[in-house]
A = this chain, B = another copy of it.
Amino acid sequence: MPNQTPVTQDSAIIRKLASFGALSSTDMTVLSDLHQRRRRYASGREMVRQGHRNRTAYILADGWAVSYILLPDGSRQIVDVRIPGDFLGLGSMLFNKSSQNVEPITTVEASEIQESDLLSAFAATPNLGRALLWAASRDQSMVAGRLTSLGRRQAPERMVHFLLELGVRLRLVGLADKTGYACPLTQYHLADLLGLSPVHVNRVLRDLREAGMVTFQNGHVAFDDLPRMVAFADFDREYLDDKVPAQW
C-alpha cells in the first residue's frame, strides 16, 4: 500500500508515469507487483558492473545513483544520475554484458526485476510497456541533451542547464519545487558528469553563487534567480514537460 508520508516510497515510478497520463488500476497493480524483491544497497558499492554479465534490472525506489563509464586511465564519465522512480540497468537485460557501471551515491532502496517478470508485466498490460518505453526514450533524449551540453556549451551554461534539468526530473517525483531541491551530489560528481575538473566545478559554482543565480551548497540546490538561470542556460521550458508519451 504505497501511501506513506515520504512520497518517494516505491510510488515514485507510479507518480512519474501517472503524471503523464492515466494509469489504469491494472497498470498500477502490475507495477506494484514488480516491487516485490525490495532491497537496500549501500552507497559506493557498485550494483551493476561494466563488462559483467547481469540480467537483472532495478526500479529505484529511494536514494540516488549514478551510471558511469570507466576509462582505463582512471577517469570516468557519469552518463546519468538516477533518481527515485527511474529504472537502472535496463541495458544489461538486452546485452550480454553491461556497458556501464551503476553505483549508489546514497543508501538506495531498489526492487530487483527479473527479465521474465518484466516480460509478463508487459504482456499483462501493453499500456505499461508503452509507458516504460517512453520513460526509456526520455532518458535517452536527456543523454543526447547532455552530449550537446558537453560539445557546445561553456562550463557555466552547462552547469546551470544540468541543475535545471535535474530539477525538472525531481519535480516529477515530488522531490523538488520552484525554489530548489536536496542534492547529494558532490562537486566531484558534477565534474565527472559535466566533463570538467573538480577545481573548475568549484570555481563555476562560486561564480554562479556570487552572481546570485544559483547556490549549490550543503547538499542543497537553491534557485536564486530562476528566470535568469533559464535564460542563461537557454533552457527549454518545454524540455521535458512536452515529452509526453504520444497518444496520451
Residues of A within 8 A of B (CB): 55, 69, 71-73, 75-77, 79, 91, 93-97, 99-100, 133-134, 137-138, 140-141, 143-148, 150-153, 192, 194-195, 234, 242-246
Contacts and interface: CB of A to CB of B under 8 A. Distances in A.
Contacts of A143: 140, 143-144, 147
B99 A246 contact: no
B147 A77 contact: yes
A244 B69 CA distance: 19
> Assembly of this chain: how many copies?
2
Contact of A141 (B71, B99, B234): B99
Contacts of A79: 144, 147-148
Nearest to A244: B96
A79 B91 CA distance: 19
Contacts of A146: 147
A137 B143 CA distance: 13
B145 A147 contact: no
30 contacts: A69-B144, A69-B145, A69-B148, A71-B152, A71-B234, A76-B152, A77-B148, A77-B151, A77-B152, A79-B144, A79-B147, A79-B148, A91-B137, A91-B140, A94-B134, A94-B137, A94-B245, A94-B246, A95-B245, A95-B246, A97-B243, A99-B141, A99-B144, A99-B145, A99-B243, A140-B143, A143-B144, A143-B147, A146-B147, A147-B147
Contacts of A153: 71
